[in-house]
Amino acid sequence: MKVGVHVSISGSIDQAVDRAKEEGCDTFQVFTRNPRGWKFAELDPDEVESFKEKLAQSNLGPVVDHMPYLPNLSCPEDELYEKSTATLLAEVDRCGTLGIPYLVCHLGSHLGMGRDVGLQRITDALNMAVKRVKKDPWILLENMAGQRNSMGSNFPDIREIIDGVKKKDRLGVCLDTCHAYAAGMDLHTEKGVSQTLTSFDKDIGFDKLKVVHLNDSRGGQGSGLDRHEHIGMGYIGAKGFKTILHHETIQDLPWILETPEDERRDDKGNLETVRKLAK
């Protein structure tokens, strides 16, 4: 079992490896830059070398990179769309430089201009991105939580996006449990988990599933609310996660927690909870 959390790159990117070890991770996720701004500095060659060396000695992995928050790859507005695609291409390059195998992307919003417009935008962006990939990374599409105007909140929609990309061999999926539940999929019962994963395999195929974001949900099933909760403390609950973690088709994938840190529990506490439920 490979379970980990999102760790900070504050100071220098190689420190992310140290932090992941301190937290007791098997795998981990990072931003390679400030996620809340458009500007970024080029990667420092010494930091890149240190990152790779520490990673090689750590027995941690695979590493997952997450796109920054600002890009909207389905955006109908030209200026924002161009900045968004430029960010995606830059992240592909940064993953290649760092040797990070997975880049997770939110699919964005058509801003009320219609699903067909959003589909054209996102597939155009992904077609540019996959051409850019040399060895790393896989570009992973993350299912959305069913928010208004969002793209890719269900499995057939994600399949349609994948089908619009010519070079599919570096395209995969990151399944977020909170988002799936908020979008209406049942993950709190054994039957529901089985049906949801069967639907994933039918619509997309398990060969495309590379990473799972393991998050409980503050909103109810079908709420459309993208609010993560501590494992077992939300609507999915301990029983749901126990079932998810024991599902044989996905139990060998990297599991990344994006759970809150507060007075109730920290990252280590959530990692411990997942490992107990997985036993």
Catalytic residues: 36, 66, 69, 106, 142, 176, 179, 213, 226, 228, 258
Residues 6+ apart with CB under 8 A from 128: 85, 88, 89
- Would you say 125 and 73 are in contact if contact means Cβ atoms under 8 Å apart? yes
Bond before 68 cis per omega within 30 degrees: no
Query: Could you tell me which of 278, 173, 177, 254 has the C-alpha nearest to residue 218?
Result: 177
User: No. of H helices and E strands in the chain?
Assistant: 9, 10
What single DSSP character describes residue 249? T
Task: Report DSSP state, residue 42.
Answer: P
AA identity, residue 51: F
Of 1, 58, 5, 67, residue with least CA distance to 38: 67
Q: Taking a C-beta distance cutoff of 8 angstroms, is the pair 213, 142 a contact?
A: yes
**What DSSP element (H or E) covers 268?**
helix 267-278
Q: Which helix (H) or strand (E) holds 3?
A: strand 2-5
